[in-house]
Amino acid sequence: MKELREITVVGGGIGGLATALGISQLGKEVTVLEKAPQFGEVGAGIQLAPNATKILNDLGVLEEVLEYAVQPKRLVLRDVYTAKELASLDLNEQFRKRYQYPYVVVHRSDLHHILLDACKNQQNKIELRNNVDVTNIIPGKPITIETEAGQSFQTQHLVGADGLWSNTRKIFTEDEPVCSKYVAYRGTLPTEEISDHVNLDDVIMWIGPNLHLVQYPVRSGKLFNQVVVFKSYNYDPNSDNWGTPEEMDRRFKNSHPLVQTALSFIERQFRWPMYDREPLNKWVKDNIALIGDAAHPMLQYLAQGGCQALEDVATIKSELSNGADIEEAFSNYESKRLKRGNKVQSNARLWGEFLHLEDKLSLKLRDMIFEQHHPQDYQVTDFLYKTY
């Protein structure tokens, strides 16, 4: 049974690599176990609010991220049928002054690649192992890790960064992911192919009953990211034959011509069913801690999934840098992050319901609320974006 380094991180995604990088910067040795044959990231764009870009700066990678990212001018909500602008949030100098760090959009693979390179440069403090599918974790001192290939490892401390379908989470609960009955179709295309039909300055969310479309540029403006989300008419928990492209066309029928044009560019081969879980009341057991989607998987409507994972990383690093031993740092991390993480997780679900309202009276009241919002009124976003 092989002894791994002092701290083992299960999961080599954005949260897992950021964890390894932050901890290694304090002089500690880390092993990262990733089940995929290669370290990489699936999906398309990711939005990084100031609470995340501050942490990327603290990790020493923000400058490089900004070389690949786009800094939009506004966040905009539009009616999917009329194209009427319902509300917006300015991301200008006043925004920067309030939150100190920028709001950026970047391709997930670019962010992941930057973090991976930073980990590789950590002077042998980080051991990266791919093709290691962790199937079981046995708590103890040391912790035993078992894999699909029949391997067994031991480690003194473990961080579960293994996402929505986390095996580490099974130590804490037997709960299952909750399907929202919504699916997403994601993709990027060269900006030049669509530039005549889209706004390249803003992050735009087209909203309507049981649906939305998000658009923004990534990779220094060279690629255009689009995400189509809609509620299935035919959700069946025992089948994969729901949330089909045909349902997408039906759901978006009579939408604005610009939306119809956007849909014509969407890749239709792959769909992502959208899940979250109910909030947990424990993220830490002695020498084991959950972070990111393993701890607080959330729906995408607040664009905070990756941001909250980075807040987890920053808190653990801060506790360790303040002199706490690892178990004490894990415990303090839970005390400081649990309430906030669960609040954001729960609010993401509520915000999705608010965006996707279908009752006519509720829609009218919602749009009245949007119309009253001033683009530079940041009180509504303070609880998400203010750094600490």
**Per residue of the chain (388 residues), what is the pLDDT tens digit?**
788 899 999 999 999 999 999 999 999 999 999 999 888 777 789 999 999 999 999 999 999 999 999 999 999 999 999 999 999 999 999 999 999 999 999 999 999 999 999 999 998 899 999 999 999 999 999 999 999 999 999 999 999 999 999 999 999 999 999 999 999 999 899 999 887 778 889 999 999 999 999 999 999 999 999 999 999 999 999 998 999 999 999 999 999 999 999 999 998 989 999 999 999 999 999 999 999 999 999 999 999 999 999 999 999 999 999 999 999 999 999 999 999 999 999 999 999 999 999 999 999 999 999 999 999 999 999 999 987 6
Phi, psi of 209 (to 5 degrees): -60, 120
pLDDT score, position 388: 60
Alpha-carbon distances, residue 16 vs 62, 119, 136, 249 (angstroms): 17, 11, 18, 37
**Burial, 214: exposed, middle or buried (Cβ in 10 Å; 0-12, 13-18, 19+)?**
buried
The C-alpha atoms of residue 187 and residue 262 are separated, in whole angstroms, by 11
Dmax (CA) for the chain in angstroms is 63
* Residue 2: predicted pLDDT: 87
- pTM across the whole model: 0.95
Strand partners, 289: 159, 284
Distance of alpha carbon 285 from alpha carbon 233, whole angstroms = 41
Q: Token digits for 319?
A: 């506790």
β-bridge mates for residue 75, sequence order:
89, 203
What pLDDT score does 387 carry?
72
**CA distances for 40 relative to 43, 110, 223, angstroms:** 10, 10, 19
Would you state the structure tokens that stand for residue 93, as one six-digit string?
């100098």
Q: List CB contacts of 45: < 8 A, sequence separation 6 or more.
A: 105, 106, 107, 108, 188, 216, 218, 225, 227
Angle between helices 14-24 and 305-321 (to 10 degrees): 20
Pair of tokens at residue 16: 């897992």
Res 194: pLDDT: 85
The tokens describing 130, both together, are 């791919």
| Amino acid identity, position 313 | V
**Rounded distance, CA 231 to CA 185, Å?**
12
Structure tokens at 85: 């602008």
